[in-house]
Amino acid sequence: MAEMKLTVLMDNNTYIDRYYLGEPAACYLLETGERTILLDTGYSACTLENARRMGGDLSRVTDIVLSHGHDDHTGGLLPFLSAFPQPVRLFAHPDAFLPKRFDGRSVGVPFDPAALPAHAELRLSRGPAELAPGVLFLGEIPRTNPLEAPPVGETLRGGTWEPDRLLDDTALALATKSGLFLLTGCSHAGICNMLQYALSLTGETRVAGVLGGLHLFESGPQLDFVLARLAQLGAKTLYPCHCTSLAVKHALCGAFDVHEVGVGLTLAL
């Protein structure tokens, strides 16, 4: 099993004495040996500047995955494609490019997919797809836990604005020597839904870790459920970031091995 290297190129948080740019967004670089993959692209071209400051070579990127169709995860895509002309495969759920709004403000992908240049091969899939050995795009996540995945804003479907259940929200399941490592954008689909689906698809029983936004902000029944269910699923090591509040991180620290995430974090998986 090949080792993987994971680098946080964009997050809300930056570390002291490490001079990178932060924004309320997410972008992770995954190097697998065979493929070099971006999960999300941040909100702007700041992601490219962070990679430059880190000495990263984004001209080696072969695949880009959009975890879902919000602008804080897709806004850096066109700047990337403008700066780097190599062929890339672009994976997303078919609903990712639907218009989305929150409190009357557009929060969807900030461009029409017709604007994608020719060197970006768009691959829309509701089902899972293997990007590289040990790297699985989960596709649409079954919503089996009723306390997770409430609607967020609205989406325009068939000419009608309706509550957005974010069916396009997905993640990457990574096969490591220590078990399954789950890499998420915002976990709108519900982090427990996502983890149990990834385990079922891969047949793995061990959870090496979870890194990403959890879209959890307050104490209450949903957080209580997540704490209990993650433990049942075997999660022990968590890297909560992006859309995860301090109160939620504090609660997680009482139950799991929680690590701080910031721009520039690098993990060998």
CATH number, domain containing residue 216: 3.60.15.10
Q: Does 159 reside within a domain?
A: no
pLDDT digits (tens, 9 = 90+) for 145-179: 989 999 999 999 999 999 999 999 999 999 999 99
Number of domains making up the chain = 1
Measured between alpha carbons, how far is 13 from 74 in angstroms, rounded to an integer? Answer: 18
Exposed, middle or buried by CB within 10 Å (0-12, 13-18, 19+), for 202?
A: middle
pLDDT digits (tens, 9 = 90+) for 29-82: 999 988 999 999 999 999 999 999 999 999 999 999 999 999 999 999 999 999
Q: Does 222 reside within a domain?
A: yes
Measured between alpha carbons, how far is 76 from 74 in angstroms, rounded to an integer? Answer: 6
Q: Does 250 reside within a domain?
A: yes
Q: How far is CA 223 from the centre of its chain?
A: 20
Share of the chain above pLDDT 90, in %: 98
State both tokens at 158: 């068939």
Q: Does 146 reside within a domain?
A: no
- pTM exceeding 0.75: yes
pLDDT digits (tens, 9 = 90+) for 219-266: 999 999 999 999 999 999 999 999 999 999 999 999 999 999 999 999
Q: Does 156 reside within a domain?
A: no
List Cβ neighbours of 5 (8 Å cut-off, separation of 6 or more).
Answer: 30, 31, 266, 267, 268, 269
Q: Does 149 reside within a domain?
A: no
pLDDT value of position 207: 98
Expressed as residue numbers, the domain containing 94 is 5-140+165-268
| Residue 1 confidence (pLDDT) above 80 | no
Over residues 114-134, mean pLDDT: 97
Measured between alpha carbons, how far is 173 from 124 in angstroms, rounded to an integer? Answer: 18
Q: Does 153 reside within a domain?
A: no
Nearest to 172 by CA among 129, 203, 143, 233: 129
pLDDT value of position 130: 98
Q: Does 154 reside within a domain?
A: no
